[in-house]
């Protein structure tokens, strides 16, 4: 009797050998393709500027050898005549393997994209670490939820009622932790919209300081007096924030008064003198100087100029130079600064 004609589970030995050979061949071919993509294309992608091919290689690396084996055995089993119950079990195993492999690919895609985004912003935006972690977490939850629903649907389970139940349960959970969820989504909004970053000097209401950390729920700010201020992200998103680090130039308005005994000629010469003093200081742009008001005990002047830098210490140094130069000029010209005084006239 020919050994190839021997039957085993309703299939001849020849059919079994063909099935096993096809399974081994498919496994070896798919595994070889994976190695080729990972090694050869991986080496080539390092020489290109595009990030798309790098992401593709990273995703292919997540191809699981067990999943390749299961799918290879399934393709080999197509050359056999199997009982319906065995075919059903094989279908379940292959479905699980396929969707789990898709989940691994999706997980690899999320890891690769988040890693590259974080790496590109790590130097200029360290606060993005926590925000990217939140985005990665929600993306994984969504991915695995979809995979589970697809697996259940392929097994013939009606997922409509399950989705409805999860929807009602999700609403209840969301209502219970709405403040926490609000802060988490606000941290993502801060990451995307970037009203401020770590290192920015901000003012929120009557509180001010330098941003130290942007977390998932809170943002920490170091105040000028040294203590740490902790803001809820939801409060920050709903507040009016003044970000001084993004100020290209600083507008400065100051005023002073001279005595009523100052002559008209000297009053007329004050605005040009102020213009000359301000223009002589570096990093400034003169705007205007006017005699604008008759005060109770002074003739008031208002001056405006711009400091061409956002640094506060530089602004104070410039203002100090201007004040000293004005004092010397008035001392030289015999002009007196006014201060609150009262004159009493006594009649006999």
Q: Name the least confident of 167-181, 238-252, 258-272, 276-290.
A: 167-181
**Average pLDDT of the segment spanning 130-138:** 69
Confidence of residue 263 (pLDDT cuts 50, 70, 90): very high
> Taking 50 as the threshold, does the pLDDT of residue 210 lie above it?
yes
**Across the chain, what does the average pLDDT equal?**
82
Domain 250-333: state its class: alpha beta
- Give CA–CA dist 27/14, Å, rounded: 20
Q: What are the residues whose beta carbons fall under 8 Å from the beta carbon of 217, sequence distance 6 or more?
A: 180, 183, 184, 187, 232, 233
pLDDT of residue 303: 96
> Dihedral through CA 193, CA 196, CA 198, CA 204, nearest 10?
-140
- Give CA–CA dist 330/266, Å, rounded: 10
pLDDT of residue 306: 95
| Of residues 107, 113, 108, the one with CA closest to residue 132 | 113
CATH assignment, 193-243: 2.30.30.60
Q: Is 221 left (phi over 0), alpha (psi -120 to 50) or beta?
A: beta
pLDDT of residue 1: 46
Q: What are the residues whose beta carbons fall under 8 Å from the beta carbon of 41, sequence distance 6 or more?
A: 53, 56, 57
């Amino acid at each position: 009797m020919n050994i190839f004609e021997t039957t085993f589970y309703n299939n001849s030995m020849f059919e079994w050998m063909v099935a096993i050979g096809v399974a081994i061949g498919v496994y070896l071919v798919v595994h070889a393709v994976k190695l080729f993509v990972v090694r050869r294309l991986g080496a080539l992608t390092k020489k290109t500027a595009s990030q798309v091919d790098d992401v593709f290689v990273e995703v292919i690396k997540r191809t699981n050898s067990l999943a390749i084996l299961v799918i290879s055995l399934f393709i080999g089993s197509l050359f056999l005549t199997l009982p319906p119950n065995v075919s059903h079990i094989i279908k379940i195993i292959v479905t699980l393997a396929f969707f789990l492999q898709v989940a691994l690919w999706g997980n690899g895609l999320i890891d690769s994209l988040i890693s590259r985004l974080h790496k590109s912003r790590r130097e200029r935006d360290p606060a993005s670490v926590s925000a990217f972690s939140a985005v990665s977490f929600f993306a994984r939850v969504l991915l695995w939820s979809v995979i589970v629903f697809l697996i259940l649907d392929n097994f013939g389970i009606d997922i409509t009622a399950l989705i409805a139940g999860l929807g009602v349960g999700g609403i209840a959970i969301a209502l219970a932790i709405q403040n926490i969820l609000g802060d988490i989504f606000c941290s993502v909004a801060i990451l995307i919209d970037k009203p401020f970053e770590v290192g920015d000097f901000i003012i929120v209401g009557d509180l001010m300081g330098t941003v130290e950390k942007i977390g998932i729920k809170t943002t920490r700010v170091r105040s000028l007096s040294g203590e740490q201020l902790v803001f809820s992200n939801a409060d920050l998103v709903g507040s009016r924030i003044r970000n001084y680090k993004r100020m290209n130039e600083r507008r400065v308005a100051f005023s002073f008064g001279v005595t009523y005994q100052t002559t008209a000629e000297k009053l007329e010469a004050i605005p040009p003198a102020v213009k000359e003093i301000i223009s002589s200081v570096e990093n400034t742009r003169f705007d205007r100087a006017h005699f604008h008001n008759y005060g109770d005990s002074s003739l008031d002047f208002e001056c405006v100029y711009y400091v061409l830098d956002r640094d506060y210490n530089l602004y104070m140094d410039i203002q100090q130079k201007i004040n000293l130069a004005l004092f010397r000029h008035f001392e030289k010209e015999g002009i007196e600064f006014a201060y609150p005084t009262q004159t009493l006239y006594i009649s006999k």
